[in-house]
Amino acid sequence: MIDAAPVNNPVEDTGPRWLRWPLVRILVATGFVMLPFILLQIVLQKLPIDKQLMKVWPALLSAACCYAMYVLYVRRIERRPVAELVGSHAAGETGLGVVGGSLLFCATLGTLYLVGAYRVTTTAPWTVMIGPLFGMVVVGLLEEILFRGILFRILQGWLGSWIAVLISVVIFTLAHAPNQGVSAIALASVAGAGLLLCAAYMLTGRLWLGIGIHIGWNFTQGGLFSVPVSGQPAKGMIQGVLTGPNWLTGGAFGVEGSALAVVAVIAGSAALLAYVAKERIVAPPWKRRPVAE
């Protein structure tokens, strides 16, 4: 049974009045995380860093920056404990998510292999996976903080769970729309992934499970199987060729653009949502009972 964190309501009657508006909080929180992150990337690009070291410590520094700035925002602005990133659940839930995300992608690519749409051509040394691994840690942490920790969580406290899911999934999908090779099926797959990651947050009340799923899916496709990640070319340990119509293989977008990926992420979403307790579903404001004083 999942030891879920309490559902927190981010819109509290604390701090300056202008910070009590949910949309303002979303903007402030996003600025807290993204502005230092962007500045850090600019600095790192100008440093004469060894190529091997570029795979490790700059990525770890970027991840630490995302984590620290989100924690600073929650403690200084929302003035509450950061229950969604509590350390006692980090290893277990992140590890579970990595396994789950990896298995979902392996099931998708495995099906393509069985129908003759994917074949392995060569392999590379395992060390080629180091860069993608650390890179996907940054991507997983950053995107989960932005889209689930900030956007979904604050919208859920304001508008209720299902409206928050809808809005956050739409924005998450639109954020991937400019990527190379995008198609209607690819966008449906990204939307399904957004639903899956919202379900992971709703189930636990923490970000770790979603972070793990995000890392596991992305790393397995890019770092292990050399498949483009949301349209971004990748080179991993196992290299192969996808052949067949774009609706099946995903085309330039990668396997994420396959109809099979849509099935995989929707199935994963349904599995997680089936275990979300009723008390974790936040009602929309017009259905909430007034709190007795």
The DSSP-derived string for 159-185 is H-HHHHHHHHHHHHHHHHTTSTT--HH
**Percent of the chain scoring above 90 in pLDDT:** 77
User: What per-residue confidence (pLDDT) applies to 108?
Assistant: 97
Helices 57-73 + 22-46 axis angle, to 10:
160
User: What per-residue confidence (pLDDT) applies to 290?
Assistant: 65
User: What per-residue confidence (pLDDT) applies to 4?
Assistant: 73
User: What per-residue confidence (pLDDT) applies to 274?
Assistant: 95
Residues in a beta bridge with 229: 232
Averaged pLDDT, groups of 10, the chain, 293 residues long = 63 61 94 96 80 71 96 92 94 97 97 95 92 93 98 95 97 95 96 97 97 97 94 91 94 94 97 92 84 49
**Are the beta carbons of 84 and 71 closer than 8 angstroms?**
no
> pLDDT (tens digit, 9 = 90+) per residue, 19-56?
778 999 999 999 999 999 999 999 988 877 665 555 68
User: Which of 213, 204, 250, 254 shows the shortest CA–CA distance to 234?
Assistant: 254
User: What per-residue confidence (pLDDT) applies to 13?
Assistant: 46
For residue 271, count other CB atoms closer than 10 A to its CB.
Answer: 14
What is the DSSP track for the chain?
Answer: ---PPPPP-S--S-S-GGGGSHHHHHHHHHHHHHHHHHHHHHHHHHS---TTGGGTHHHHHHHHHHHHHHHHHIIIII-S--GGG-GGGHHHHHHHHHHHHHHHHHHHHHHHHHTTSEEEEEE--GGGGHHHHHHHHHHHHHHHIIIIIIIIHHHHHHH-HHHHHHHHHHHHHHHHTTSTT--HHHHHHHHHHHHHHHHHHHHHSSSHHHHHHHHHHHHIIIIIT---BTTB----SEEEEE-S-HHHH-GGG-GGGSHHHHHHHHHHHHHHHTT--GGGSPPPGGGPPPPP-
User: What per-residue confidence (pLDDT) applies to 5?
Assistant: 72
**Are the beta carbons of 10 and 153 closer than 8 angstroms?**
yes
User: What per-residue confidence (pLDDT) applies to 289?
Assistant: 73
